[in-house]
Structure 1
Amino acid sequence: MSVRRIGKAEKWSGRVILTGLVAFTLLPFAGMLSAALQEPGSAPTGMSFSFPLHLENFVTAFQVARLPELMWSSVLLVVMVVPASLVLSLLAAYGLEVLRVPGRAIALGVLLLGLTIPFEGLIWPLYYMMRNWGLHNTQIAIALPLIALYLPFGVLWMRAHFQGVPKELDEAAALDGAGSWRALRLIHAPLAKPALSTLTVLFSLWTWNQFIIALVMMDDPLKRTVAGALGAFQGEHGTDIVLLSAGALLIMAPTIVVFLLFQKQFVAALLQGSVKG
């Protein structure tokens, strides 16, 4: 079968389209950065950078929004939610796809149904459940619903990974006397590192940016997620566009850094199994 070569015109048109998309994506961030560097108390109009640049706006926004306390609360939630979600997703997908446990069809149907239900539709049942269990106003009341809500996506994601693993590996492990747990620990878990890395990034970003569940389950604003800082900050300083822009950039900065650090693993997991030699 002949392979069609991509011409120069197609390459350049693709580059132009991608460049345009990148510029379109970065334009709002550039506008926020421009507003955040304006004189405190001013009303920025349009995108312009005037000197001197008022970097002290970021310090003011950092202190006013009390970001250190909120960042610590978000970090604690990430530590509670992400490892548990990864382990449960890995074990459930391994049982469904590799071990092919009884009732897997029903379980897969329930997981697919879970993907169709939005978080907002489960807020009030979760609230009453956590309150009846005596967990309201605790970090656990935020962590448990998040773990449960992440599981459908996590299990189906890991199941897709296991579908691309050759069955001969399990047969060879069985011939060597390796049981299910040993095969998972020595064969499947190492092969699943790209998929698990992507889930780690996604679960971390989703937990860091979670707002609604944290707002309902926690009365103390300083024990919610860092995304809640923007809502409280907007309510108090909604007319101060300069401080609001600086605070929004500070809140988004950790998620951008995490994605930049793990972008290779993210792309590797997306491309895993798409090309087979």
Structure 2
Amino acid sequence: MIGVRREGWTGRVLLVLLMAATLLPFVSLFVTALHPEGTYPSGLDWPADPQWGNFLRAFEVARLAEFLKSSVLIVLGVVPVSLVIATMAGFATGHLRMPGGRVVFLAFVLGLTLPFEGIITPLYFQVRDMGLLNSRWAIILPLIGLYMPFSVYWMRAHFVNMPRELSESARVDGVNTWQLFWRIHVPLATPALSSLAILLFLWTWNQFLLAIVLVDEPTKRTMAGALGAFQGQWGTDIPLLCAGSLLILAPTLVVFLVFQRRFVTALLQGSLKG
């Protein structure tokens, strides 16, 4: 009994330490952002006169409204298309057991081993030859392809655990494959779809490498990619830079905090099924 209590307290202490280590950088950014412009604050020294206007000034000088619009357009171009394709591919390889499905699935698994950094050079020349450089399509189309291996793997993990009796009984009632997919299996895949949508949103919003390499115009990049241009212009103004960084991080933090319960539930369901 004592050993169980000791393990419980040890786990709580480790969680508190991990939480503190995770939150400390954000607290440091927030405190630094409240210092007067042009200063070089050190540590977590709370300013005597907090400059809350730094956030408004960072929003204006960094043209974050334009970056926000660009990020939203890129997310709307990547996430819905990726969800539709991945759901259909996951259903075909995981539930229909189509001929050659295992080979197709192994090809997607192989795609999981390809890092962005390893293909950025040939990707640049391919996008250039397509005439898409310095446009949002230069980010949207590659991201759909680069996210597809993980997305298909994620959705297949859901469909492969769905009982085949459900499909067999539906076919007895005259349901074809298309109706079986849209009317029965897609509604049941809502937890997996919602959690995948959250992941794709976070990854797309925080995409930095492709935005920097393939797009020269900062207002056509993602918010994270725009941070590079903002840092180059205001890198010597540490408080303003920290304020801009927090504004760029804010949407992803809000989305995660709002949907974290649904995301964790989907993960737990997947572990129980597995």
TM-score range, shorter chain: over 0.9
Structure 1 pair 273–110 and aligned structure 2 pair: CA distance change class (3 A): closer
Distance 1:58 1:273 in 2: 40
Residues 256-271 of structure 1 aligned to structure 2 (within 5 Å): 256-271=253-268
Distance 2:132 2:248 in 1: 27
The alignment status of 1:94 with 2:91, answered yes or no, reads yes
SS of the counterpart of 1:47? coil
CA contact (8 A) 1:161 1:195 kept: yes
Tell me the alpha carbon deviations over residues 67-111 of structure 1, each in whole angstroms, 9 at most, x when there is no partner.
Answer: 111110000000011000000000001111111122212212211
The alignment status of 1:248 with 2:230, answered yes or no, reads no
Partner of 2:14: 17
Note the C-alpha offset of 1:169: 1.0
Distance 2:130 2:30 in 1: 44
Distance 2:155 2:182 in 1: 15
Partner of 1:35: 32
The alignment status of 1:147 with 2:136, answered yes or no, reads no
The more displaced of 75-84 and 260-269 is 260-269
SS of the counterpart of 2:99? coil
Task: Give the percent of matched residue pairs that are identical in Structure 1 and Structure 2.
Answer: 54
The alignment status of 1:69 with 2:66, answered yes or no, reads yes
CA contact (8 A) 1:164 1:273 kept: no
Residues 52-131 of structure 1 aligned to structure 2 (within 5 Å): 52-131=49-128
The more displaced of 218-227 and 132-141 is 132-141
Note the C-alpha offset of 1:46: 0.8
Q: CA RMSD in A?
A: 1.8
CA contact (8 A) 2:95 2:162 kept: no
Structure 1 alignment gaps of length 5 or more = none
TM-score, length-scaled by structure 2: 0.94
SS of the counterpart of 1:116? coil
Structure 1 pair 273–116 and aligned structure 2 pair: CA distance change class (3 A): closer
Distance 1:64 1:211 in 2: 20
The alignment status of 1:178 with 2:155, answered yes or no, reads no
Note the C-alpha offset of 1:273: 4.1
Distance 2:134 2:27 in 1: 38
The alignment status of 1:158 with 2:133, answered yes or no, reads no
Structure 2 alignment gaps of length 5 or more = none
Distance 2:181 2:84 in 1: 12
Distance 1:274 1:167 in 2: 20
Distance 2:134 2:229 in 1: 18
Note the C-alpha offset of 1:121: 1.6
CA contact (8 A) 2:37 2:238 kept: no
TM-score, length-scaled by structure 1: 0.93
